[in-house]
Amino acid sequence: DDAMAELRPDHRTAVVTLTHDPKIDDPALHFALSSPVFYIGSLGSKRTHAKRIERLKEDGFDDDTIARIKGPVGLDIGAKTAAEIALSVMAEVVAAQRGKLA
């Protein structure tokens, strides 16, 4: 994805896809999975994430590489609103950055 390449993500970068559209999210995930970013997350239900995993396997990614993606993204804080979901996502990103994710 051209946008991702222009950003030049490195080990200090977190990537979170939010669109629910594989045509947009999957290229970003491909780029992120092939980069040293410290965190990769993707918004969507468990069912959506399972479909995402299948697409990535079809595209040649192995299980260990795919396991880098946190999905559904965000800490489970019972978030309902957009603001709460954003908070849960950012909390998970910070936890990953600080080495506190299981």
Q: Which CATH number fits domain 2-97: 3.90.1170.50, 3.40.1190.20, 2.60.120.10, 3.40.50.720?
A: 3.40.50.720
What CA–CA distance (Å, rounded) separates 6 from 61? 23
What CA–CA distance (Å, rounded) separates 101 from 59? 27
What CA–CA distance (Å, rounded) separates 2 from 31? 10
Distances (CA, A) of 10 to 3, 65, 89: 14, 16, 19
In this prediction, residues 24-37 reach a mean pLDDT of: 95
The confidence band for 101, taking pLDDT boundaries of 50, 70 and 90, is confident
Say if pTM beats, i.e. exceeds, 0.85: yes
Q: What is the pLDDT of residue 1?
A: 59
Average pLDDT, the chain: 94
